[in-house]
Amino acid sequence: MDKTLSKTLPNFRPKKTPAKKTVKEIIYHVVGIVLSLIFLFPIIYMIATSTKSESAYASSLGSVNMFLPDFANLGTMLDNYKNVLVNYDIWKYALNSFLYAIIVIVLNVIINGLAGYVMAKLVFPGKKLLSFLIIFLIVVPVETSIIPLYSIVKVMLGLKQQMSVIGVILPASISIFNIFLFTQFFEGIPKEYEEAARIDGANTMGVFMKVIMPLSKPIIATVAVFCFIGVWNDYLWPSMILPSADEGAWPLLPIQTALISIQSIEGITTGEIMASLIITSIPIFIIYVVAQKYIVQGFGTAGLKM
């Protein structure tokens, strides 16, 4: 572009980038690359170790080979993954977590979405007080409610054995933080859309389902990712509420409880532990990469009125 203008306009001189600015950009990129590598080292180490037998892992300690896969034994690089998936039945626990996550995501979007719509678009007595309580409850640690919640699920509802699954799903289906996100996002949707829908005869629920929700894909994706990560990484509450599986029965526990159990098995190798960690990390990585655009857009829009 600059060369073309230089030929057509003799007095035109391309704008030169100041040397000081160029140096700053180089330093910025170099520092960024170095920091990225530092954060990636544990992941690289985990992937490399998952391909090694215990003897190969021991011989690589203290050298650069710690961060390199076991290329000398290509035929056995995936043995640790096979052992974890087949011998320890980790796929069953992973399937449990997937099912729990799907149910929790659907309930979160419906319940918290409705609550956010009410807070954002409807006028009712005590709305300001309720808004204050929502913001206040966001900073309250979840751990403070575990004992009362356990009493409600076990004593009042009497959920035992297979019914304990309900005790895992219902508490995770309501999130103060997600209500807050939905509220902030819905407040940014122009009222004209609702007014047009009401002119066409839609009631409040119709406006929510046919107008608000289709316009809220970014925040729905954001909430869905957060819910999935929360359910997938949850260990304390499911281990308290769910029973251990009898021999030969299908386990009800999620993936994280299986991960902790696997690490305590006598004779398990370091490579198998690393392989199990990678297996549990892959779904979160994939979901975040796929929904990254919507997450950024959802936070950006929801943050406009924060």
Answer yes or no: do 12 and 136 share one domain.
no
For residue 83, being part of any structural domain is answered with no
Round to whole Å and give the CA distance between 147 and 15. Answer: 66
Answer whether residue 302 shows pLDDT above 70: no
257: number of Cβ within 10 Å:
21
For residue 265, being part of any structural domain is answered with yes
For residue 193, being part of any structural domain is answered with yes
Answer yes or no: do 131 and 151 share one domain.
yes
For residue 49, being part of any structural domain is answered with yes
Answer yes or no: do 167 and 208 share one domain.
yes
pLDDT by residue (tens digit) across 236-293? 888 888 877 666 677 888 888 888 877 777 778 888 888 888 888 888 888 888 877 7
Residue 306 pLDDT class (50, 70, 90 cuts): very low
Residue-level pLDDT at 110: 92
- Mean pLDDT for all residues in the chain: 81
Answer yes or no: do 102 and 41 share one domain.
no
Q: Which residue among 77, 101, 136 closes a domain? A: 77
Number of domains in the chain: 2
Answer yes or no: do 274 and 208 share one domain.
yes
Looking at 226-305, which runs of residues are DSSP E strands? none
Answer yes or no: do 72 and 92 share one domain.
no
Q: Quick one: tokens of 126?
A: 């005590």
Round to whole Å and give the CA distance between 171 and 151. Answer: 13
Answer whether residue 216 shows pLDDT above 80: yes
Residue-level pLDDT at 305: 47
Answer yes or no: do 232 and 272 share one domain.
yes
For residue 30, being part of any structural domain is answered with yes
For residue 207, being part of any structural domain is answered with yes
Residue 102 pLDDT class (50, 70, 90 cuts): very high
pLDDT by residue (tens digit) across 178-215? 998 898 888 888 888 888 888 888 888 888 888 888 88
Residue-level pLDDT at 13: 55
Residue-level pLDDT at 298: 61
Answer yes or no: do 196 and 121 share one domain.
yes
DSSP codes, 171-207: HHT--HHHHHHHHHHHHTS-HHHHHHHHHTT--HHHH
Residue-level pLDDT at 100: 92
Residue 61: phi and psi, rounded to 5, are -60, 135
Torsion of CA 245, 251, 252, 257, to 10 degrees: 90
Answer yes or no: do 222 and 156 share one domain.
yes
Answer yes or no: do 38 and 100 share one domain.
no
What CATH number is associated with residue 182? 1.10.3720.10
Domain holding 237, by residue range, is: 88-305
Answer yes or no: do 26 and 158 share one domain.
no
Answer yes or no: do 164 and 15 share one domain.
no
Answer whether residue 2 shows pLDDT above 50: no
- Are 122 and 205 contacting, i.e. CB atoms less than 8 angstroms apart? no
For residue 28, being part of any structural domain is answered with yes
Residue-level pLDDT at 248: 67
Q: Which residue among 11, 44, 77 closes a domain? A: 77
Name the 3-class secondary structure at 107. Answer: helix
For residue 82, being part of any structural domain is answered with no
Q: Answer with the residue of higher pLDDT: 306 or 210.
A: 210
pTM here is 0.79
Mean pLDDT of 71-78: 75
Q: Which residue among 15, 43, 77 closes a domain? A: 77
Q: What percent of the chain has pLDDT above 70?
A: 85
